[in-house]
């Protein structure tokens, strides 16, 4: 025959006040409110099946939270640390990837004092792409994949591509292409109806 399970008796009036306040709260986390209601219904004399029917959950859930409350008290109603999958990379590594994406690529052409274009490292990429960012992060010792780099950058709102659709030059003979004038554009003949 199964043992009749109840919440342990009150240790002090402060604990009872906190549990009752949490059970009646409207602006607390929903899971905490539900767990506190399980405890208060048990204190009111209801059994596990009646509490499960009142709350609208499974009897195993009611038993689990009664056992946790009996063992740990009010602290047992919270989630234990370590719930969910651990992150593969640390916050420092995430910050390093974001800083890398915001930095200038090592292969980008830059004008030196003499006016010549040169790159810090001609073998490195001139533009950041997901593949080049992943490769640079792996060279820095961060074990990361392309999809992780993409998720990190999207979550932080960092752009890894800087596209430019125009060209500028310091060459005195360079003339940007202007709009064609109406006089130089031949009219199109319309087909007769």
Q: Is the pLDDT of residue 119 over 90?
A: no
What's residue 94's pLDDT?
A: 94
What's residue 182's pLDDT?
A: 60
Higher-scoring residue by pLDDT: 83, 128:
128
Most confident of 86-90, 97-101, 174-178: 97-101
Q: What number of other Cβ atoms are within 10 A of residue 8's Cβ?
A: 13
Q: What proportion of the chain, given as a percentage, has pLDDT over 90?
A: 39
Write out pLDDT tens, residues 2-54. 577 888 888 888 888 999 999 999 888 889 999 999 999 999 999 999 999 99
Q: Is the pLDDT of residue 70 over 70?
A: yes
Q: What are the strands, taking DSSP E only, across the chain?
A: 109-111, 117-119
- Name the pLDDT band for 1 (thresholds 50, 70, 90): very low
* DSSP states of 22-70: HHH-SSS-HHHHHHHHHHHHHHTT--HHHHHHHHTS-HHHHHHHHHHHH
Q: What is the pTM of this model?
A: 0.47
* Sign of CA pseudo-dihedral 69, 73, 78, 82: negative
Can you tell me the distance from the alpha carbon of 126 to that of 73, in angstroms, rounded to the nearest whole number? 59
Q: Is the pLDDT of residue 111 over 90?
A: no
Residues 6+ apart with CB under 8 A from 19: 36, 39, 40, 74
Q: Is the pLDDT of residue 165 over 60?
A: no
Q: What number of other Cβ atoms are within 10 A of residue 187's Cβ?
A: 6
Can you tell me the distance from the alpha carbon of 131 to that of 137, in angstroms, rounded to the nearest whole number? 10
What's residue 52's pLDDT?
A: 94
CB-based burial of residue 68 (10 Å sphere; 0-12 exposed, 13-18 middle, 19+ buried)?
middle
Most confident of 39-43, 113-117, 163-167: 39-43
């Amino acid at each position: 025959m199964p043992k009749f399970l109840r919440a342990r008796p009150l240790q002090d009036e402060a604990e009872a006040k906190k549990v009752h306040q949490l059970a009646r709260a409207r602006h607390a986390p929903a899971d905490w409110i539900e767990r506190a209601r399980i405890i208060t219904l048990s204190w009111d004399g209801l059994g596990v099946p009646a509490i499960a029917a009142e709350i609208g959950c499974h009897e195993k859930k009611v038993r689990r939270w009664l056992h946790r409350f009996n063992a740990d008290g009010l602290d047992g109603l919270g989630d234990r640390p370590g719930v969910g999958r651990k992150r593969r990379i640390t916050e420092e590594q995430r910050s390093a990837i974001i800083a890398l994406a915001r930095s200038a690529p090592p292969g980008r052409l830059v004008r030196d004092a003499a006016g010549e274009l040169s790159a810090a490292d001609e073998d490195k990429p001139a533009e950041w792409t997901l593949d080049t960012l992943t490769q640079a992060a792996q060279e820095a010792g961060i074990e990361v994949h392309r999809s992780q780099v993409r998720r990190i950058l999207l979550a932080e709102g960092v752009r890894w591509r800087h596209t430019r659709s125009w060209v500028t030059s310091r060459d005195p003979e360079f003339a940007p292409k202007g709009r064609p004038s109406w006089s130089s554009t031949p009219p199109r003949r319309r087909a007769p109806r």
